[in-house]
Amino acid sequence: MARPRIAVVASSDPKARSALTKLEALYRLAAPEKADVIVALGGDGFMLETLHRFLGRDVAVYGMNRGSVGFLMNAFRAEDLERRIARAEETVLHPLRMHASDQKGARHEALAINEVALFRETRQSAKIRIGVDGIVRLKELVCDGVLVSTPAGSTAYNLSAHGPILPVGANLLALTPISAFRPRRWRGALLPSRTRFRFRVIDPIKRPVSAVADDTEIRDVVEVQVWEDPDITLSLLFDAEHNLEERILKEQFVP
């Protein structure tokens, strides 16, 4: 069996650039557009950037942490890279697809690997109506915002907003309010991954709202639809002793 063609991409961080230089000296690397595996050097933000960059290509991504948190990354080690990749375990993810309409009637599309979030744009709270599979489940959420998170994103902003951690493979999405004022005791919901969400902004002129899919922001939205796209597959590789499923499980027992 032929060895996989490996390419390496790095963030602009000096630690990542230094790591790239070490790998270039040790291995015969391929160009990213011809590779079977992409090695991403950086932090979680750069991992998301890399996944978006190579979206739609049949290529696996193996991250090594040269950033800060590195939840989606493996530990950096220049030696034995080919063996580590050969022994790595694959985690398959499906992104969220967002369709948004703004106040001018324009329509926008974006994909999110972590979450789609709606945020108030001014000092006034947002008022958002939430529909689930064609049924209005919450007529008016008064809040700073609301988000839909994938399992991969559940330990990121979703967790900071006091949302639940979702195991990979649970086939669930988290619907999490951000600083809900009314109804005050609503803490969100867990929904099947096949769910289609519809958010309608109430009084968008007085209380404008933006929608953000990972790093894509749409200002002054009036309606946002979100669903998981099962036709798009993302492949992440993790060292067997520290795979993504185990990391998410450990996060649920952090005191």
Q: What is the pLDDT of residue 248?
A: 79
Q: Distance between CA 193 and CA 49 in Å, rounded?
A: 23
Which is it for the CA torsion 98, 185, 190, 50, positive or negative? positive
Confidence check: pLDDT of 95 > 90 = yes
Pair of tokens at residue 153: 């994103």
Bridge partners of residue 42, in order along the sequence: 65
Question: What pLDDT, in 10s, does the model give residues 171-184?
Answer: 999 999 999 999 98
Edge-to-edge strands, sheet with 145-149? 189-192, 172-178, 145-149, 115-120, 209-213, 216-218
Confidence band (pLDDT; 50, 70, 90) for 247? Answer: confident
Which residue do the tokens 């990391």 mark?
247
Decide: 55 and 22 in contact? Cβ < 8 Å.
no
In 97-219, which ranges are continuous DSSP H helix?
Answer: 157-160
Residues that are catalytic = 44
Q: Distance between CA 221 and CA 240 in Å, rounded?
A: 42
Confidence band (pLDDT; 50, 70, 90) for 123? Answer: very high
* Between residues 18 and 4, the one the model is more confident about: 18
* Between residues 255 and 62, the one the model is more confident about: 62
For the chain, which domains are there? 6-93+233-251 (3.40.50.10330), 96-228 (2.60.200.30)
Residue 221, helix vs strand vs coil: strand
Decide: 35 and 7 in contact? Cβ < 8 Å.
yes
Q: At 182, give phi and psi (nearest 5°).
A: -145, 135
What's the mean pLDDT when you consider all of the chain?
93
Which is it for the CA torsion 16, 22, 25, 27, positive or negative? negative
Q: What is the pLDDT of residue 2?
A: 64
Confidence check: pLDDT of 1 > 60 = no
Confidence check: pLDDT of 240 > 90 = no
Confidence check: pLDDT of 150 > 60 = yes
Query: Which residues, at least 6 apart from 138, have a Cβ–Cβ distance to it below 8 Å?
Result: 129, 130, 183, 186
Biggest distance spanned by C-alpha atoms of the chain: 62
